[in-house]
Amino acid sequence: MLWMRRIALVLAALALAGAGAAGPEGEDGLIVSVAVRDFASARLRRAGLDLLMEKGGRVYIVASPGDLAALNARRIPFTDETLRLRQASLRGLSAAGGINGAFHDALETEAELRALEAGYPELASVREIGQTLEKRKILALKISDNAASDEREPALLFVGCHHAREWISVEVPLLFGRYLLQSYATDPAVRALVDESEVWIVPIANPDGLEYSVRVYRYWRKNRRANADRTFGVDINRNYGYAWGFDDVGSSGQPASEVYRGTAAFSEPETAAIRALVLGLDLRAMISFHSFGQDILFPWGFTTQAAPTDAELRTVGRAMAGLIEGVNGRPYLFGEASSALYLTNGDTVDWTYSLAGAPSYTIELPPVDIDHGGFFNDEAAIGAIFEENRPAMLYLIRYGIDHPRSLDIRRLVRPKRSAPGPARRSQRIQR
C-alpha cells in the first residue's frame, strides 16, 4: 500500500540521518508537514497529534507510523521534513561529552544541586518534594539567607522541564540557582533579593520523561505513566487543577494524545509534588520554562477572556521582554497565552495565577522555530540563553517581593469557552 511505502521510506531516511532510536512503543520521531488548509478541514487539532509549529502555511508534526497511516486514511497529503529539519537541528551542535553532552540529566542535576547545597550551606537547601512513578526524586532548591528555616518570606518559583524533550528548560533555572549563590557575597543587589525572599528552583519537573528523552527517544514529551490502553504518558502541563479538562481543544482525554491530561487533576506525582510545595509558600510570582519559540506568555491559557490583572501581567511581561532583548538583542514576544499562541487548559501558570493572582509566566526559550534547531539547542548557546534571561528573573524576584498577593481569582472569573486567537509568525502549537 502507498502509506506503507511512505512509512518505510521515511523510516529509512530517518535512520540515515542518525536521528534518535525508536522506543519500545514504536515512537520514531518522523517529522512531516501538512498544509494548514488540509489540517483545518480534517479537524486535526483534536486528533492528538504531536504538533510542533505552524509556519509558511504548513503545520509540522512529529508522526509515528500510526499517525502517518491515519493521515493516509484521511487522504491528507504530507511532506517528509525529517532530513531537512534534522540537518537544521544538528547544525553547529558540539559534543561536550556523554550521551546528552553539556545538558543535565536527572542524576547530573541532583549532583549539581547537592554540590551547591554543600558549598553554600546557609543559603541553599535541597528538598525532595516528591517521587516519580519510576521512583526518581523530584528535587527543589531553596535559596534564602536562612535556607534551613521556614521564615514565610515572599516566595518566587522557577520550574523547568515539564516536557521531557525541552532540555534547555533545565539549564536556565539550574544556572540561575548557581548564579544567585555565587553572587551573594559580592553583589549587593543579589544579596538583598536573597535576604528578603525565598527562591525555589525545580529544574526538572518531569525526571522520568527526561531520562526517556535522553536515553531512548529524543522527542518524548510526557511523563511515563502506563495508561489503561497500553499507551504511555500524561502531559503534566495539562494536569494542574485550575480549568483542568475545560475542553478537548486545550487538552485531550485520549491517553495516546501528546496533550493527554490524565484521569483527574493532579493525578500525577509530578504535579502533586509541585502543588504540595506551592501551597506551603507565600507565592509572589513564578516562571515555567519551556522551549521553543522565544515567547513570554501569561494567563489565561484556557480562555481568551482577559485575566483580572491583565494590565499588570502585560506590564511585567513587557518589562521582562525588554530586559531579555537588551542582553543579546534577541526579541521575545509577550502576550496572553490563549491569544498569542493557542488554547491550553490545566497548565501550570493558570493554576499558580488562580491561587492569589501571583504573576505567572511561561517563557518559551530559544530558538525561535524548528528551522533554527527546535528542541535541539546548540550546547554552546546554553550560557547565552541563560544570560539573556537572568535580568528578567532578577526583576521578577524584586517585583514579587514588593507586591504582596491576596486576590481571589476564582471568585472573580467566570470562564467562557472561546476560540483561539489568530496564528502569528513561527507559531508553535503545543507547549
The catalytic site residues sit at: 364
For 85-117, letters b (16+ CB in 10 Å) and e give bbebbeeeeeeeeeebebbbbbeebbebbeebb
**Residue whose cell numbers read 555565587:** 182
- How many other CB atoms are there within 10 angstroms of residue 387's CB atom? 15
Grid cell digits, residue 165: 524533550
247 conformational bin, left if phi > 0, alpha if psi -120 to 50, beta if neither: beta
Long-range contacts of 62-65 (CB under 8 A, 24+ apart): 62/29, 62/30, 62/31, 62/219, 63/30, 63/31, 63/32, 64/26, 64/27, 64/28, 64/30, 65/7, 65/11, 65/26, 65/28, 65/30
Amino acid at 291: S
Residue 235: CB partners within 8 Å, gap ≥ 6? 163, 221, 222, 251, 257, 258, 259, 260, 261, 262
Measured distance CA(199)–CA(192) in Å, rounded: 12
Measured distance CA(159)–CA(393) in Å, rounded: 12
Integer-rounded Cα radius of gyration of the chain: 21
Residue 288 in contact with residue 349, Cβ under 8 Å? Answer: yes
Measured distance CA(49)–CA(62) in Å, rounded: 8
Task: Give the bridge partners for 226, in sequence order.
Answer: 232
The residue among 259, 315, 255, 251 whose CA lies nearest residue 285 is 315
